Structure 1
């Protein structure tokens, strides 16, 4: 069983939607107290090859939403794009994201035993457990979509991939997919106003501000706020 996830990464004006995949396998990671402080790879995260092949098998061509470099044709001087997804070299990223994690109780371990951490599989979210969960940073491989690419991708996600026991999308992507569709609806109805925001360095930045001046849109915002998954409320800056 594989599940697709999306985390917004805040990087000043270069924020992106980070797409990564999760699968079933052994989640245990042993940590020696005297080992290096390098952040470990997420044991449940798909490798880039696994993620690319799985996206293709599910007819989710993420390459269609990432601008590809032009390939020069020497004989004519014209340019062309790669003919197929398999010929494309997608820009990949290794990011650090904080995810719910179980950490074994060090006080109950012998001197020979190393503490272990277990990332929580998203399929188990909401299940009752006696073990406390912590936000642990993990290194994860995936693809980054800028805001414009992210909106196109989220709007194109098939709705039948978000329901049932065999849902392909995690709660984070299901939520952002619905928000993206609502955002496009607001844009089509011209529900936005220009604003100017002063930055910490004294400069100013022109932005568009959403205009929610109807009871319907106000109620919809309240529902989205009430149903936002916890993972969507966690951001970290300066990582990755």
Structure 2
């Protein structure tokens, strides 16, 4: 079984754009052992080749999607990250385990630029339309809902130009959404309240700490 997750990797420098990252847990991995080191590799993340094979029949992936290293801060038992609740596995020691803390782990994700990510997220099938061996993680489901909301704002031309300060002496042009309709403001508030903790767990691979 595979559970596919999605995270926005935010830029760390003004000249960077960031990207949307896809990765998957797999229950076909070997029985996970407790990883060692300050930032070990995620023990049951699927290789990117498998991720391609899983997603290709469902949603077209852009040809320029590339491998991007990143890290996640995940609930863990000591140093062993816990699987997401959707993953069906036979790892008895993790079946009813409770987290004892957080562990930062390294991964390789499939990176999509913003426009490609919007196309991907709005094209994802509904959970009930997925094959039985595949599930969407909470983070990917959340960002898919956000993407559909963004598409509605774009179609309704509910955005305005703006200027954002980046650094001490740099300014960049930005399009800003306009939530002047009560129903849009309500949806935004609902999305903020429902944001999964996993959406805030993504960090650059080389970020110290």
Q: State the match for 1:230 in structure 2.
A: 197
RMSD: 2.7
- Aligned 8 A contact 1:42 1:119 in 2: yes
Which residue of structure 1 aligns with residue 53 of structure 2?
53
1:98 to 73, 76, 88: 73
The residue that corresponds to 2:19 in the other structure is: 16
Structure 1 residue 120: Cα displacement: 1.1
Deviation at 1:49, TM superposition (A): 2.2
1:148 is aligned, of 115, 130, 138, to: 115
Output the TM-score relative to the length of structure 1. 0.71
Question: Shift of residue 30 of structure 1?
Answer: 4.3
Provide closer, same or farther for how the CA distance between residues 201 and 66 of structure 1 changes in structure 2, counting only shifts above 3 A.
farther
Normalising by structure 2, we get a TM-score of: 0.81
- The alignment partner of 1:29 has SS state of coil
Q: 1:59 to 1:179 in 2, by over 3 A?
A: same
CA 1:236–1:195: 2 relative to 1, 3 Å:
same
Contact 1:161 1:167 (8 Å CA) reproduced = no
Compute the displacement of 1:159 (Å): 1.8
Stretches of structure 2 that go unaligned for 5 or more consecutive residues are: 88-95
CA deviations 1:56-113 (Å, max 9, x no partner) are 3x43332xx244xxxxxxxxxxxxxxxxxxxxxx53233222222221xxxxxxxxxx
Counterpart-to-counterpart distance in 1, 2:47 and 2:202: 23
Superposed counterparts of 1:187-226, under 5 Å = 187-226=154-193
Contact 2:5–2:140 under 8 Å retained in 1: yes
Q: How many residues align?
A: 195
Residue 27 of structure 1 pairs with residue 32 of structure 2: yes
Cα shift at 1:149: 1.1
Q: CA deviation at 1:236?
A: 2.8
Which of the pair has more CA radius of gyration? Answer: 1
Q: How many Å apart are 1:38 and its aligned residue?
A: 6.0
Q: In structure 2, the residue corresponding to 1:49 is in which secondary structure?
A: helix
2:148 is aligned to 181
Aligned equivalent of 2:92:
none
Gaps of 5+ in 1: 32-36, 68-89, 104-116
Query: Does the 8 Å contact 1:162/1:168 carry over to 2?
Result: no
Q: State whether residues 46 and 141 of structure 1, in contact with CA within 8 Å, keep that contact through their aligned partners in structure 2.
A: no
Question: 1:118: which partner in 2?
Answer: 80
